[in-house]
Amino acid sequence: MTEQVPHVLRSDARDNRERILDAARAVFAADGLDVPMREIARRAGVGPATLYRRFPTKELLVTAAFTDQMRACYAIVDEGLADPDPWRGFAMVVEKLCELHARDRGFTAAFTSAFPHAIDFAADRERALRSIAELIRRAQQAGHVRADAVLDDVVLILMANGGIQAPSQEARVRASRRFAALALRALRA
């Protein structure tokens, strides 16, 4: 009788995995997704072989690194959907997603399709986008959002928000908040 035992990482392997993910998150947040895998390994204090053993492709590393941010994205969108005021829910989602993306450049790139073949992440992104489309539809039906507004407008806002240049993360967040306010004015009916 053979029973399948779940694979549990040794403590050193688990520590290496966490160091790799922490380094990847920090590098992606600061510099985007174009950072070489070797640089991530160096910052994590592991060899490239260790990095590639845990994450054979950059897509797998990106997906694992941004799992928490994707959960935060879901929570933001779910909060917007739960708001009984369609405009307030929609505006809050745009504002909070812009801020989330301003704080983490890598997440913006991942969310806006830098790695279209990362299947798990693509499915997550599609779920979030469908929910945002529902928010737009509700706000349009209530007469708060322009009738010609489409989901691509919000994606464009997020992409443009990702291009904000500032000397610090705090300045980028402030600029992002202003940009979100201007974009929402443009979408208001």
Kindly state whether residues 89 and 169 are assigned to the same domain.
yes
The pLDDT tens digits of the residues spanning 57-89 come to 888 888 888 887 788 888 999 999 999 999 999
**pLDDT tens by residue, 4-19:** 545 555 677 778 889 9
Tell me whether residue 18 is in a domain: yes
- Max distance between CA atoms of the chain, in angstroms, equals 67
pLDDT for the residue numbered 169: 84
Domain carrying residue 116: 67-187
CATH code (residue 144): 1.10.357
Instruction: Indicate if 49 and 116 belong to the same structural domain.
Output: no
Let me know if residue 107 belongs to a domain.
yes
For the entire predicted model, the pTM comes to 0.74
Does 5 fall in a domain?
A: no
* pLDDT of amino acid 89: 97
pLDDT classification of 115: cutoffs 50, 70, 90: low
When pLDDT is averaged across residues 84-106 and rounded to a whole number, the result is 91
Residues 119 and 60 in one domain: no
Q: How many domains does the chain have?
A: 2
Is 6 part of any domain? no
115 and 143: one domain? yes
Instruction: Examine the domain organization and report whether 53 and 83 are in the same domain.
Output: no
**Per-residue pLDDT for 113 more than 70?**
no
> Which 3-state string (H, E, C) describes 74-116?
HHHHHHHHHCCCHHHHHHHHHHHHHHHHHHCHHHHHHHCCCCC
